[in-house]
Each structure stands twice: as structure tokens, then as C-alpha cells.
Chain A
């Protein structure tokens, strides 16, 4: 099979660390990132002198015009390496929106080719201390913004509201159905010590009562902006066997991209779904593993409708059925498909694709503690919208 990923099962995740997730930390983001990276390196049984590769996606995902200052509001791979006192052989940042799968592709490719032996992959997220996260004071709309901002179309809430309403109308679904997704995400997030929502589950009524911002998107359909850092250590499979924790192998990955020029932040439902179908085909071609055997499918949920879009485009339920499927099918504690067993972004805070990747690692390495699933052999970590993001498949044993 010519499309099979040449580095399949050659690279493994061997350790991690996660900072507490808070609305605002009282230490600079860079300091939090350094402490978290050092903890991840120690968790992997290594020292910083072993690390010779760094990768991240450092985007500050706000439309509010907040400044990106390295070490303060973002932390690039170069900043982290320099401030750890490491002179790495490989150091690179991913420029797109699917920062976690994008960073993993760079780490895997570097390790498989010998460009690095031990890579720290981190993600540092920041919630600016002043002003609303997405509020923008623009009085003049220049460049791409001239096509949308004068009519009030701006920012990620309108962006996701349009395809979500397109979905609800097309399939005669009710926005109330999404309560099941929020209850599951928060129930699992409530069991995670570092989560912003630790010990704070919600009821369906809490969801229904929450403020609506851009119909049909309400405040609880959005992950909450936070300060938080996670770091992972990856190495080649042959080196991974000597380290303290059970390695979790990268089987392959697939990324999506938009096929058409659109207005800024205009994401029609069919653009999203088309890319999702393609990601599934690419993943199955790359790994030789079909999606039906994935027992830890962690779907991206930075905005709740992404859960429907990933469920359907990956073929985990029929198109148009996700709003029904989530009512009974996703309760991880009751043996349902564990799509949000790691709490996701809705259950942890705006850690982007970190909760999905981390849950795959924890479950497949048997480190999930009292959340450990009975069956955890193949994981999938999705991030972003399919047409701007991607997914990485992990396995507990090499393929």
C-alpha cells in the first residue's frame, strides 16, 4: 500500500506534564511553560540535557487584538529551548490552526528522520488579563475585515454559529440536544485534578439556562479562556522501550485544509464535512487501521458543534444522526463511546487539542487512574475544525 505512513509506529509518546488550568495564573506564562516542560522531561525519565528537539504551535487564539509577546502571552519552541538553556538540533513551530496534530507531525517527522532524538512538544495557552477575550476595538475595517466587519460579522462565535445552525436546520435538530455533550464533557473534566472545571459538573438544565450569544451558540458551547500549559516528550520507539512508562505509539496522522476561498471566518457546513471525510480516508490509508476499531476516539470540542461534525465525518455515527447519538451513546462511565472521556476543552478549559492528545496518552499507557477505560488500544486525537485541523492516531502496541 503506497499511501502507508513510512514512520508508522516508529515514534512514541513517553511522558507528559500538565499545569493547573486557571483563568489567570500569577506567574508569567513562560515560567509556567518552563516548569511544565521540566516536569514532562522528568516524567519521561530524562533530563533536559537529553532533549534536542522542540516543537509547538504558539498561536494566541483570540480575535481581540491582544499582543502576542513571547514568554508572556505566547511561548514559542525557540523561547522554551533558549530559556531551558538547551541548544536544540531541531526547533520549529506549526503555523496553522490544528496546533496539536500539527506539532505532532513535526515532532514525528523529525524523530523518524533522526533530526532529533528526544522532542519536547508543548502548548501554552493564555487568557489576557484585561478586556474581553474576543472583543475588538476596530473602528476601521481594512484588508480582509472590510468584507465582513462592517456588517457585524466578526470573530469565532459568529463563525461557528452559521455552520451549526445550518446543521440544526438541515437535520431538524434541536439545540437542546447539545446538553448531553456538555454534561459528558463536564462530568469527565470534573474528575481531572488540573482542570479548570475540577469537581464542577453541570446538569442539562444548567446548559439550557446559559446565556445565548450568537444563536444557536451559547456561552457553554464555548470552552473557557484560561492560562495553562501542557508538555509531552516524544522519542523513537527503540529508545522508548528503555524509559519508565509504557510508550504510546504514533500510528499516523491526517490534516485537513479548506478547498475554497471564502470570506474571513466563513465556514459553511459542507466545507467542514468534506474535509472531515478526507481526513478519515487519509488516516485509514496512512495507518491501515479503520476507524471502527478506535476505542478512545477523542473528538475536538472547543466549540461544541465540532463534536457533531467530527462524529459524523469520521463515520462514528451516520451523517445527520450525531444529535441523537450523543443522547445515549457517549457516556464513558456507562460504557458508551468515550469521545470526551478526557473532558475535552469544554471540560478542562481552552487548552486547544491538549485534552484530546493527553487522554489518548493516559488511556493507552494505562495511566488514567480511576478514569481508566476497560479497553484502550487505539486512540484518535482530533483538533480544530476538520478543514483547518487534523487528527493523530495512537496505538498501545506498535503496528
Chain B
């Protein structure tokens, strides 16, 4: 049973192409210059209807704002991974820019709000690597 494979489309193909090279690339608005994720029809910051998003590599470091440990899954392919941790991360690169991904350090990892993480990539057999997170070993107070 395979996990859901991302299907790139014109709004996302640059994101997944970068992920294939283990780089996190996010959409920057050509009008106001701010990042947004996921890219929408309009820029959520300046409301431009012609945001002309370009994807550019960003620093994948961030801060844990919440997490959940999944002990059941409602999607194919995750049964063998249970339990696993998903973290809600605010990236350093822009205030309130949030991503959700797996924490690859395991379900017993002690976590606190404010823990520092780095973006890593979760390899898949049948699709592009999927952005995920790991506790930042270089962070002050890292355990």
C-alpha cells in the first residue's frame, strides 16, 4: 500500500522539482515580494490577482508551534508508520509562515513549544521526497 503521491500542477511543479533535489522552495509574490504557502489564486498578503509566484529556495529552519502523535491513520500507506509525529512549524524566513510535516526523530521524541527544527526530506519509492522536519542539533539547548 503506497502513501498518497503528490501530483504536481502548474502552481506546484517548481516546489516538487526543488524537493526532488532536497531543497525547500516556496512561492514569492512578484507584486509584494512576500512568501506564501500554499500558493493561492491571489497573494494573501497584497491580494494581487496576478501574483506571478516564483519559487525560490528558503532556509528550512523553524520553530515548533504544535504537534500531534498519530496512533491511527485515515490514509493508505501509513499503517506501518504508526505511531508517527506531525509538527506544525513556523519558518524563520517570514513571520507566521507555517508548514506541517513529519518529525523524523520518532514518536518518543520529547517536544516542547518553541523547539527548533530543520527541514529534511522523507524519501519515497514512488514520488518526490516529501519535506519533513528534524530537531535542530545545533540549536541552543538542543537535547
Contacts and interface: CB of A to CB of B under 8 A. Distances in A.
Interface of A: 63-64, 132, 134-155, 157-158, 161-163, 165-166, 169-170, 211-217, 260-263, 266, 268-269
Contacts of A216: 68
Chain B residues touching A, range: 35 or more
Contacts of B102: 151-152
Nearest to B3: A150
Contacts of A215: 68-71
Contacts of A151: 86, 100-102, 122, 130-132
B100 A149 contact: no
Given A146-B6, A268-B98, A154 B75 contact: yes
Contacts of A166: 65-66, 88, 113
A153 B113 contact: no
A74 B35 CA distance: 39
A257 to B, nearest CB: 14
Contacts of B96: 260
B75 A147 contact: no
A145 B4 contact: yes
24 contacts: A63-B74, A138-B4, A139-B4, A141-B7, A143-B7, A145-B4, A146-B7, A149-B4, A150-B6, A150-B127, A151-B86, A151-B130, A152-B75, A154-B74, A157-B72, A158-B70, A165-B67, A166-B66, A166-B113, A214-B72, A215-B71, A261-B40, A263-B98, A269-B66
Given A137-B76, A150-B4, 15 more contacts: A139-B5, A140-B4, A141-B4, A141-B6, A151-B102, A151-B122, A152-B3, A152-B102, A154-B73, A154-B74, A158-B70, A158-B86, A161-B68, A217-B68, A263-B98
Contacts of A263: 37-38, 98-100
Interface centre among B70, B71, B98 (most CB of A within 10 A): B70
Contacts of B44: 260-261
Contacts of A161: 68
Given A141-B5, A162-B66, A262-B98, A132 B113 contact: no
A64 to B, nearest CB: 8
A136 B74 contact: yes
B130 A165 contact: no
Which 8 A-B pairs give the minimum distances between C-beta atoms?
Answer: A161-B68, A141-B4, A166-B66, A261-B44, A142-B7, A215-B69, A146-B6, A149-B4
A140 B113 contact: no
Interface in B81-114: 81, 84, 86, 88, 96, 98-102, 112-113
A162 B71 CA distance: 14
B125 interface: no
Given A166-B65, A269-B66, A140 B75 contact: no
Contacts of A136: 74-75
A155 B100 CA distance: 13
B101 A214 contact: no
Contacts of A212: 71
A268 B65 contact: yes
A62 B90 CA distance: 28
